[in-house]
Amino acid sequence: MASTAERGTWGSKAGFILAAAGSAVGLGNIWGFPTQVGQGGGAVFVLVYLLCVLLICLPIMMAELMIGRHAQLAPVGSYAAIRPNTRWWLVGLLGVLAGAGILSFYSVIAGWSVAYIWFAGTGAVTGDAEAVGAFFSDFTANGPLSVGLTLVVLGATATVLLGGVQSGIERVTKLMMPALIALLLVLAVRATTLPGAAEGLAYYLRPDFSRLLDPMVLLAALGQAFFSLSLGMGAMLTYGSYLSKRSSIVSAACWVVLLDTSMALLAGFIIFPSGFSIAGFDPSASGPGLIFTVLPRLFATLPGGQLFGAGFFVLLTMAALTSTISLLEVPVAHFIDVHRWPRRRAVLLVTTAVFLIAIPSALGNGAVATLGTLPGLGIDFLTVMATVWNEFALPIGGLLTAVFVGWIWRADQAITEVQLHGTAFPGQHVWSFLIRWVCPAAIAVIIGFAVYTVASA
């Protein structure tokens, strides 16, 4: 096994929180959350999302940090170290696969963000809703360009990872996070004061309770919460393995969840008011292009809009990079810890493999035409990937993590890890109840309910 010195640790507790928040905050907040709210019917989705975050994801975030810090290894190694000679390491392997699978479509969208730095900065995206929408479709229809941009994102991610954990991730996040928050606040103020913003706010904040028990809304909200918080695939577990034994796992987890959730909510306060200020806007019809069609029009209403726009996409790209770094780090750390590969070889081989899986997502609608003859594949490959990994793999990974910590390793043992060096664990009984009963049951019921509904439709 690699020694601590080879693996690296965080410079400080603040460094860890920055890095974990850097993993959590990304396209999931600014691109994914508004898109899912639009498809899930507005405020009711927001409500379910918040419940999932608080009752399911926060306890699982703590659980992942506990496993990682206890075992000081990447997911597969950690499960194997805590329960040797069992099959629990397979949960870690699921995470390694999910990391590669998510990164494969995530890097395509991050590539769009890179291109929009240029488009927004040069004022290339202008005109009415239709023109801005057409611009996005034309742009994404250019397969080779998308593939190239994906390669740029993966290349940048690999470069950071070659430099090791601490120096790369902490430094980028420290600069990016405050700037991103400030810019989002400015945009939210502008968006909510636009004519027509009230309608958008009502859509975002006033729930239509008739959809509360729609299994598809529940599953989408659960998947989105896992995706946004980087849970269920061992990213937080891996980051926890670099966490010092003296830091408080509970407060670290609370900070990350608070930061991530505020950023997602803030993105909603930007997208919906500005979307609804455009005549004929339909949030459910926009799909993955939502923010790329709404935001350019918002920038146009600001003085110095081109500069704002370019700045926004620079920050979005940086936020995406601190997430792609954590996605790639899971499979990379796996090969370093378990197969003892040198970091360099692990980074290069995993990145190449992810790039190959990313190509069909990057080819987008062009690929649908080719795959169109396959039964049932009416949607683009990117959406298929996002659904499989976010809505199924991550919640299932989370369920298994909860069962492992609550019942196999056992909640009381895990609590001992938190309390090392006399660190307090306020609410340990609540946590133990949630991780043993609420998390597994809620996830199983939501997935079961959704699968049943689709199967019987």
Q: How far is the CB of 209 from ligand PHE (least distance, A)?
A: 28
Tokens of 143: 């397969």
Amino acid at the residue 142: N
Q: How far is the CB of 136 from ligand PHE (least distance, A)?
A: 20
Q: How far is the CB of 110 from ligand PHE (least distance, A)?
A: 9
Q: Strand ranges (DSSP E) for 92-229?
A: none
Choices 12-20, 26-34, 266-274, 293-301 (CB under 6 A): range interacting with ligand PHE? 26-34
Q: How far is the CB of 29 from ligand PHE (least distance, A)?
A: 5
Out of 21, 24, 125, 158, the only residue in the binding site for ligand PHE (CB under 6 A) is: 24
Choices 12-20, 25-33, 213-221, 355-363 (CB under 6 A): range interacting with ligand PHE? 25-33
Residue closer to ligand PHE, measured from CB, 366 or 397: 397
In the 8-state DSSP scheme, what is residue 55?
A: I
Residue closer to ligand PHE, measured from CB, 180 or 235: 235
Distances 120 to 155, 178, 181, 293 between C-alpha atoms, Å: 23, 22, 19, 11
**Sign, Cα dihedral of 257, 299, 205, 221:** negative
52 touching ligand PHE, by CB under 6 A: no
Query: Distance from first CA to last CA of the chain, Å, rounded?
Result: 50
Nearest to ligand PHE by Cβ — which residue? 28
100 touching ligand PHE, by CB under 6 A: no
Contact 46, 196 (CB under 8 A): no
Count other C-beta atoms under 10 Å from residue 119's C-beta: 21
Choices 182-190, 196-204, 321-329, 416-424 (CB under 6 A): range interacting with ligand PHE? 321-329
Burial class of 5 by CB neighbour count within 10 A (0 to 12, 13 to 18, 19+): exposed
Interface map 344-383 toward ligand PHE (x if CB under 6 A):
----------------------------------------
Contact 166, 7 (CB under 8 A): no
107 touching ligand PHE, by CB under 6 A: no
State the number of binding residues for ligand PHE (CB under 6 A): 15
Residue closer to ligand PHE, measured from CB, 64 or 214: 64
How far is 114 from 151, CA to CA, in rounded Å? 11
323 touching ligand PHE, by CB under 6 A: yes
Distances 165 to 9, 259, 296, 370 between C-alpha atoms, Å: 7, 21, 35, 40
Residue closer to ligand PHE, measured from CB, 306 or 323: 323
Q: How far is the CB of 16 from ligand PHE (least distance, A)?
A: 15
Residue closer to ligand PHE, measured from CB, 140 or 326: 326
Contact 252, 236 (CB under 8 A): no
Out of 146, 277, 317, 326, the only residue in the binding site for ligand PHE (CB under 6 A) is: 326
**Nearest by Cα to 423 from 83, 79, 69, 77:** 69
Residue closer to ligand PHE, measured from CB, 230 or 247: 230
Contact 379, 360 (CB under 8 A): no
**Nearest by Cα to 390 from 134, 193, 177, 109:** 109
Distances 245 to 22, 230, 333, 417, 440 between C-alpha atoms, Å: 21, 22, 20, 9, 28
- Give the CA radius of gyration of the chain: 21
Interface map 224-263 toward ligand PHE (x if CB under 6 A):
---xx-x--x-x----------------------------
327 touching ligand PHE, by CB under 6 A: yes
Out of 10, 16, 18, 23, the only residue in the binding site for ligand PHE (CB under 6 A) is: 23
Point out which residues bind ligand PHE (CB under 6 A).
Answer: 23-24, 26-29, 102, 227-228, 230, 233, 235, 323, 326-327
